[in-house]
Amino acid sequence: MTAGPLLFQGKDWNFETLQRIYDAIEPIAEKELGLDVFPNQIEVITVEQMLDAYASTGMPIFYKHWSFGKRFVQHQTIYHKGLQDLAYEIVINSNPCISYIMEGSSATMQALVMAHAAFGHNHFFKNNYQFQQWTAPESILDYLAFARNYISTCEERYGHAEVERLLDAAHALMAQGVDRSPHKRPLDLQQEEKRERDRMQERERVYNDLWRTVPGRAQPLAKAGKDRQRAMLGLPQENILYFLEKAAPRLKPWQREVLRIVRLIAQYFYPQQLTKVMNEGCATYCHYRIMTRLHETGRITDGSFLEFLHSHTGVIRQPMYYEPSYGGVNPYALGFDMMQDIARIVRDPTPEDKVWFPDLAGTGDEMAALRDVWANYRDDSFIAQFLSPTLMRKWRLFHVVDQKDLPYLEVAAIHNERGYRELRRRLAAEYDAPAQSPHIEVVDVDLAGSRKLVLHHQVVEGRFLEAEEAALVMKHLQSLWGYDVLLQEVDSRKGDNILKEHFVAAETS
Amino acid sequence: MRIVDRRLNPSGKNFENRQRFLRRVKRMVERAVRDASRERSIEELENPGEISIPADGVRQPILHHGPGSRRDLILPGNREYVEGDRIARPPGGEGGDGAASGAGGGKGQQDAFRFMLTREEFLDIFLDDLELPDLAKRRIALVDKEGLRRAGYATTGTPNNLALNRTMRMSLSRRIALGRPKAETIARLESELAEAAAEESASVESLQSKLDALRRRRSRVAYLDPVDLRYRRFERFPKPVAQAVMFCLMDVSGSMTEHTKDIAKRFFMLLHIFLMRRYKRIEVVFIRHTDEAAEVDEETFFRSVETGGTMVSSALEEMLRVVKDRYDPADWNIYAAQASDGDNLLGDNDLTRELLQSAILPLCQYFAYIEVRESFLDEANPFEGGQSSLWTAYAPLQKEGGKFQMRRVSRRERIYPVFRELFHRREAGAAHGDQA
């Protein structure tokens, strides 16, 4: 990389500056780091627009719902009180990949955001297997536009209150609306939209009011065994929204479609939950490399580099547990440190690293190693595989067990030879989102009788559902199912021993 | 790479979501606004409020774990511990709670949150459903509002005002007048020509020249010409504005204590905010009285202290004088609110009632009397218990839905409800004038 003229001086920037910065960053990202990205689109927005974007999960197009207004009010309050800076980046997993930059930021910050979002996150979105599995960046914006139009049409046809009730209920079950293991058919949101339109047209075309008046034959009750019924309903089913969409007897077609929209959007964001540490680690590592290179080659001034470092260190600061600002593990800090550590192991391993990472230590090409990591892991497997003793010592990690009935907490493991594996296993487990969230399944429907829906929650280590919220969610679930619903908390180790029940009876109307 | 400047795109995309959110929490916000109106000074009321509402009504429940029997924490920053160490549980039961809630994302434990209402939002909720009854009379003379109305057609204008029908009509008549050949005519000639050409008839040439002439004519006389264009024209016109005057009558005699005066003032201030907001052209006249009455400015009305006897009729007479001087009932909607502790010179009661009944009420659209007392024997039912002399004198005048209404108040927090009772929007019945 040869030195070049300064990209900018001072804080000010204009569109030429942005272009110059981008043109300087691109070869570093693509040639030196070997990043592979979607085409980029950089959008300059104002503070208010950033608040808007925040409120709708960063998406430029989103359907309307009061909860987004609530989120907006919360962010706005915090922002106006000066308690929090706006995050300086929002980036959308779409093709082209859209990164927002704020008009009030300095030229250095714009360079930082481009390096971080337009290259770091962008590369991660395009290459990580979870995103490839679950998201369709080509069509997400089209799909969101479809969703927004569909829902606003529903509001016109069926009334705001009706749609709001439905969305409230769907949102309450959103976390139970994702498939956690790959489906047989990959999602294509554009196809989904077309199919729905075709379905609708077909229904309208063949609709004949006469048929409604024909006296119905009683549904021939399946004589087949219970197991066959369950198989036909796809039970047990952990994707509750999917189950309701397909099987809830009382939902109208448009209601099923709305459930489907909420479910597909939940699924779209699911990979982001699974890869927070890696995604931020990747973006932070990339922006650090790129900004450092810009400084080395004299493209940015010392002052600008210092401004960058100030912001960078703020982002990757990890307070220790005894500091008042401690709020759990900072994913930026953990991700960045692990990426740095992997690079170190590849370039400059210690004898310990050679024992722990025989395939990685000393291979020499850190970017090849990192790109491979970014593509093929998610947070839990990433930490389980790559958290090194060096890093555990640096962070001085320790493991504390809190048993409810003991009067003391016990230190179970610390950063020493005996503790490394345990620490790593435990930390990885914390990032295993599917394992951390409650495991709930639809297990049975009383088809012959009351149509009661039965769900099971597997209780592990005495972790019951938070009862008050569970009761509220159950009410929503009941409103969607239309008949009685029963949620049993069971201990599968003891033969599905029922420990606790939540029951909501159908409203008699 | 593409750089897009979105700054010019409208922001406030979230406005609608915010409105939905407000609608959703409306009842809670209303309650909060009313509480605020009780606790704040009236000056503060004019300013937008920071309102705190309980998060409960806007809760978004999700299924998540409650505390289990065992928790595993991985913490950074070990300084002293070795494996097997026991740490005393911090006092307060739940050990290491800060760490745990941090890691758990803090969901499901939102506290009440506060947010800013804009001034508009605050007053809207505050004054929702209130209005002056029977604002019927108007005065055309005082004009400061302009309306826009259709005023025929013009030959110039902006494209969005293009009057398509009118334009096409103009075009049609011009085409007829100038003899623009019709498409059918030309088509017919063409086919005739083709036939003639096929038969090699002699008429080919004349047909051809006829056709050429028609075609030339057609290209000279355009289908749509700039002279055909007509635009809808709008003109401004003065719109009469309803005007009203509010008389504030307050008893400031020695028998009025600080407490009762505070209540009376709060009532008038609420009224003031309400009037300023709802009506564009409104005047307020302040009259205070002991045993004699005088029109005063706002400052004196609200701030200064007096002592002396009480003669309510003096205030009514003063009001009549002001009406006669400045507010011709033919042009003005007249409202009055009177506050007093009800103590009146015994001999004055008959005169007061007579004045009210035969002179004032016929002029007024609405007259509200509030009686302020230190306390009532029966708070729940302030109409029972000891009657003041003025109350007894006024009572026969009050009719359900009539233009004279009276209420009693002894506690600050009752002001707002009473105020609403007096000024809530009437169902149908009385026709309302335009609100300006």
Question: How far is the alpha carbon of B205 from chain A, nearest alpha carbon, in Å?
Answer: 57
Task: Please say if the pLDDT value at position B102 is more than 50.
Answer: no
Report the gap between the CA of B238 and the closest CA in chain A (Å). Answer: 38
B426 Cβ under 8 Å from any chain A Cβ: no
Greater confidence (A385 vs B145) lies with A385
The residue of chain A with its CA nearest to that of B84 is A411
DSSP code of residue A59: -
Q: What is the 3-state secondary structure (H, E, C) of B277-340?
A: HHCCEEEEEEEEECCCEEEECHHHHHHCCCCCCCCHHHHHHHHHHHHHHHCCCCCCEEEEEEEE
Query: Which among A7, A470, A443 has a CA at the least distance from the CA of A234?
Result: A443
More confident residue, B114 or A298: A298
* Residue B130 confidence class, pLDDT cut points 50, 70, 90: low
What residues 49-68 of chain A have any CB closer than 8 A to a CB of chain B?
49, 51-52, 55-56, 64-68
pLDDT for A446 equals: 82
Select the residue from A141, A459, A469 to test the B interface by mutation, using most B Cβ atoms within 10 A.
A469
Identify the closest residue of chain A to B90 by CA–CA distance: A408
Q: Which amino acid is at B68?
A: G
* Least CB–CB distance from A411: residue in B59, B64, B83: B83
Q: Is residue A402 located within the same domain as residue A324?
A: yes
The confidence band for B143, taking pLDDT boundaries of 50, 70 and 90, is: very low
> Is the pLDDT assigned to residue B427 strictly greater than 70?
no
pLDDT at A182: 64
Mean pLDDT of A195-205: 80
The most confident of the ranges A392-396, B103-107, B330-334 is: A392-396
Tell me: do A143 and A251 sit in the same domain: yes
Residue B138 has pLDDT above 80, yes or no: no
Q: How many CB atoms lie within 10 A of CB A475?
A: 16
Cross-chain residue pair A69–B22, CB shorter than 8 Å: yes
State the CB neighbour count (10 A cutoff) for residue A56. 23
Number of A/B CB contacts below 8 angstroms equals 256
Contact A398 B18 (CB under 8 A): no
Same domain, yes or no: A119 and A172:
no
CB-CB under 8 Å, A64 with B20:
yes
- Across B343-372, average pLDDT: 84
Residue B435 confidence (pLDDT): 34
pLDDT at B110: 44
Question: Per residue in B207-255, pLDDT tens?
Answer: 888 889 888 988 888 888 888 898 888 877 666 566 778 888 888 877 7
Closest CA to B3 of A118, A141, A27, A36: A118
> Do the Cβ atoms of A18 and A113 come closer than 8 Å?
no
Question: Which pLDDT score is estimated for B109?
Answer: 40
Q: What is the mean pLDDT of residues A440-458?
A: 88
Q: What average pLDDT does range B52-66 have in this prediction?
A: 77
In a domain? residue A5: no
Contact at 8 Å (CB) between A99 and A113? yes
CA A337 to chain centre: 21
Q: DSSP 3-state assignment of B204?
A: helix
Instruction: Give the nearest partner residue to A473 out of B63, B76, B88, using CB atoms.
Output: B63
The residue segments making up the domain with residue A255 are: 139-147+160-209+224-273
Other CB atoms within 10 A of residue B47 CB: 10
pLDDT at B93 over 50: no
Same domain, A302 and A321: no
Sheet containing strand A485-491, strands side by side = A440-445, A453-458, A485-491, A497-504
> How many domains does one find in chain A?
4
Calpha distance B45→B35 (Å, rounded): 11
In angstroms, the separation between the Cα of residue B74 and the nearest Cα of chain A is 5
Query: How confident is the model at residue A304, as a pLDDT?
Result: 94
Arithmetic mean of pLDDT over chain A? 87
A415 and A451 co-located in one domain: no
For residues B70 and A404, what is the distance between their CA atoms, to the nearest angstrom?
6
Q: What is the per-residue pLDDT across A144-158, written as a single tens digit (0 to 9) for each?
A: 999 999 999 999 999
Q: Does A154 map to a domain?
A: no
A:383-422 residues touching chain B, CB 8 A cutoff? 395-405, 407-416, 418-419
Decide if A214 is inside a domain: no
Among the candidates A309, A333, A354, a domain finishes at: A309
- pTM given for the model: 0.68
At how many degrees (to 10) do helices A15-27 and A276-296 cross? 100
**Residue B105 pLDDT grade (very low, low, confident, very high; cuts 50, 70, 90):** very low
Question: Taking 90 as the threshold, does the pLDDT of residue A103 lie above it?
Answer: no
CB contact B81 to A (< 8 Å): yes
Residue in chain A nearest B109 by alpha carbon:
A469
Q: Report DSSP letters for A409-435, one per residue.
A: EEEEEESSTTTHHHHHHHHHHHT-HHH
Q: Domain B242-423 falls in which CATH fold?
A: Rossmann fold (3.40.50)
Q: With respect to residue A249, please indicate whether it lies within any of the assigned structural domains.
A: yes
A134 falls within a domain: no
Residue A218 Cα, gap to closest chain B Cα (Å): 37
Mean residue pLDDT of chain B comes to 75
Q: What integer is the mean pLDDT of B68-79?
A: 88
Tell me what the mean pLDDT of segment B5-33 comes to: 77
Position A371 pLDDT exceeds 90: yes
Predicted confidence (pLDDT) at residue A474 exceeds the cutoff of 50: yes
pLDDT at A309 over 50: yes
Q: Do A66 and B72 touch (CB under 8 A)?
A: no
Top-confidence range, B35-49, B83-97, B239-253, B267-281? B239-253
Say whether residue B65 is in contact with chain A using an 8 A CB cutoff: yes
Measured between CB atoms, which of A65, A396, A408 is closest to B78? A396
Domain-terminating residue out of A404, A435, A466 = A435
Q: Which of residues 44-63 of B touch A (CB under 8 A)?
A: 58-63
Tell me, what's the pLDDT at B146?
A: 67
pLDDT for the residue numbered B436: 29
Query: Which span out of A392-396, A433-437, B192-196 was modeled with the highest average pLDDT?
Result: A392-396
Q: Tell me, yes or no, whether A169 and A262 share the same domain.
A: yes
Taking contacts as CB-CB distances below 8 angstroms, the residues of chain B near A26 are: 1
Give the minimum alpha-carbon distance from A73 to chain B in angstroms, rounded to a whole number. 7
Rounded to a whole number of angstroms, the distance from the CA of B270 to the nearest CA of chain A is 28
Complex prediction ipTM: 0.80
In chain A, residues with a C-beta closer than 8 Å to the C-beta of B70 are: 401-404, 461-462
For the four alpha carbons of B128, B129, B135 and B140, in that order, the dihedral sign comes to: positive
Same domain for A285 and A328, yes or no, is: no
pLDDT at residue B95, as a whole number: 40
Of the candidates A146, A97, A135, A134, the one whose C-alpha atom is nearest the C-alpha of residue A118 is A97
- A143 and A267 assigned to the same domain: yes
CA closest to A97 among chain B residues: B1
Do A453 and A395 lie in one domain? The reply is no
pLDDT of residue B145: 58
- Nearest-Cα distance to chain B for A77, in Å, is 6
Same domain assignment for residues A330 and A406: yes
Q: Please give the Cα distance from B142 to B241 (Å, whole number).
A: 7
Residue B4, pLDDT score:
87
pLDDT tens-digit map of A4-45: 789 998 888 999 999 999 999 999 999 999 999 999 999 998
Structural contact between residues A316 and A333, judged by C-beta atoms closer than 8 angstroms: yes
Are B115 and A430 inside 8 Å of each other by CB? no
In a domain, A488, yes or no: yes
Q: How far is B103 from chain A (nearest CA, A)?
A: 5
Residue A133 lies in a domain: no
For A469, residues 6+ apart whose C-beta sits below 8 A from its C-beta are: B61, B62, B63, B64, B108
Identify the weakest region by mean pLDDT among A237-241, B104-108, B372-376, B421-425: B104-108
β-bridge pairing B70-75 and B86-88: unpaired
Show me where the domains of chain B are located.
22-59+113-128, 154-233, 242-423
- Confidence label for A185 from pLDDT (cuts 50, 70 and 90): low
Q: Which of A30-34, A75-79, A165-169 has the lowest mean pLDDT?
A: A75-79
Is residue A452, in this structure, part of any structural domain at all? yes
